[in-house]
Amino acid sequence: MCSSPSNGRTTTGAFVARLILCLTVAGCGVVGPSDSPEHSSISGSAVVGDEGGFSVDVEGNFRKEGMLHAELSWTVVAPGSGRFGAQTPRLGLLLDRDCSMCPVVSEDGPANQCPLSLSGPVETSWRYLVRIVNSRLCGGCRIEYRLEVTHPEGSVRLRPPRTCPRYVVHLPQCVQCPGVTNPVVDLQASPPRARMRVGDRALIDVNEAGCFTTTYQVESLSVADPAVAEIQNDVWGDPSYLAALRPGQTGISATVLQVDGSRVQADLGHCATTFDSCAPTRLVLEVVR
C-alpha cells in the first residue's frame, strides 16, 4: 500500500474509473482479553467521487473510556477521468463525535501520501466516527485502503454508504447569464416537455432526486438524437450546456455511479420542489424554430 499508479494508467484490469464506492470489510475482529485494548482492521476499496462530500465512515461505540488510535494506509489503483484524472487524492483522517456541531477530536492530513495516524480520547456517552475524507478532486479515482483501529472495549464497524435510488437531469434556470436562454417547461403537453428554440443554449446538470448529500459521479450525459441538440463543455472541459441545433424532439439521459458501485439511469425531468424531496416529472426536449 501507500503508492500511486505511474503515468496515469491502472494495472488492476477493467475497473470503471468513475465508480464511486465498492467497500469490502475484512477483519473487524477483536483480539486479546476483555480488559485489554481491542483491535479492529477494516479494508476495502473506494472510488473518490467528485460530487457530494466523499467520506468512508467507521462507527465506534465504546463500553469503556480510553484512547483510540487509528492508522490509515492506501494505494491509488486506478486514475480518475476528465481534467482531474491525473491528480491523486489528498486524504485526511478524522476522529469525530457523531454530532454535526461538535469539534473534531483528532485529525491527521490531508496528504497525498500515507500513512496517516491519529490518537484521541473516547467516552461511553458518545458514538464516534473515524472518517476517511478527501480534499482534492481526482475525477473518480479508485483507492484501496486499510484502516487499523486500537480502541477501548466496544464495537467498531463500517457505516453503510449513502445511496440514492433516483437522479434527474435538469436544466437550471439562470438569471442574467450571458449566452444562456432558459427553456420553457410545458407540463400540460403530452408528453411533458422542455422547449428551446434553434440556436438557444441552456445550462444542464444532474442531481439527486429525493435524497441529499450522497457521493456520486456522473459517468455519462447524452442526447438520444444528436442532430436535434448537443451537450457542450464549459471552459474547464465539463459538460455544462445544452445547445439546440434543429427542430425535433429527443430524450436526454445520464448514467450515475453511486457509492456502492451501482449505476442509476437518469432522464431529463422537472422538479416542482427542492431536489431532496423531488419526484421528477420526465420530460422530452423539444426544439422549435
Supply the DSSP symbol for 276.
G
Strands (E) located in 204-251: 205-208, 217-223, 229-233, 239-244, 248-250
* Torsion angle (degrees, nearest 10) of CA 206, 212, 213, 216: -40
Q: Work out whether strand 66-78 and strand 116-122 pair parallel, antiparallel, or are unpaired.
A: antiparallel
Beta bridge partners of 160: none
Q: Using 50, 70 and 90 to split pLDDT, how confident is the model at 21? A: very low
Instruction: Delimit the domains of the chain by residue range.
Output: 6-158, 167-288
Q: Which of 259, 265, 268 is nearest to 286 (CA)?
A: 268
pLDDT at 156 over 80: yes
What's the rounded mean pLDDT across residues 69-90? 90
Do the Cβ atoms of 237 and 267 come closer than 8 Å? no
Model confidence at 239, pLDDT cuts 50, 70, 90, reads confident
DSSP classification of residue 162: P
For 19, what's the count of Cα atoms within 13 Å in the CB-facing half-sphere? 19
Q: Among the CATH numbers 3.30.450, 1.20.1070, 2.60.120, 2.60.40, which is that of 167-288?
A: 2.60.40
The average pLDDT across 156-184 equals 92
Question: Residue 1 — very low, low, confident or very high, per pLDDT cuts 50/70/90?
Answer: confident
- E strand or H helix that includes residue 209: none
> What number is the average pLDDT over the span 70-80?
93
Percent above pLDDT 90 for the chain: 61
Contact (CB, 8 A) for 173 and 210: no
- Confidence (pLDDT) at 42: 95
Mean pLDDT of 251-255: 96
* CATH of region 6-158: 2.60.120.380
Cβ neighbours of residue 236 closer than 8 Å, sequence gap 6 or more: 83
Q: Give whole-number Cα distances, 30 to 37, 56, 151, in Å.
A: 9, 21, 10
| CA–CA separation, 100 and 81 (whole Å) | 32
Q: Between 210 and 161, whose confidence is greater?
A: 210
Find out whether 94 and 133 touch, Cβ atoms under 8 Å. Answer: yes
* Amino acid 104: pLDDT: 97
**In the prediction, which pLDDT does 52 show?**
77
Q: pLDDT tens digit string along 138-149?
A: 888 889 999 999
The mean pLDDT value of the chain amounts to 86
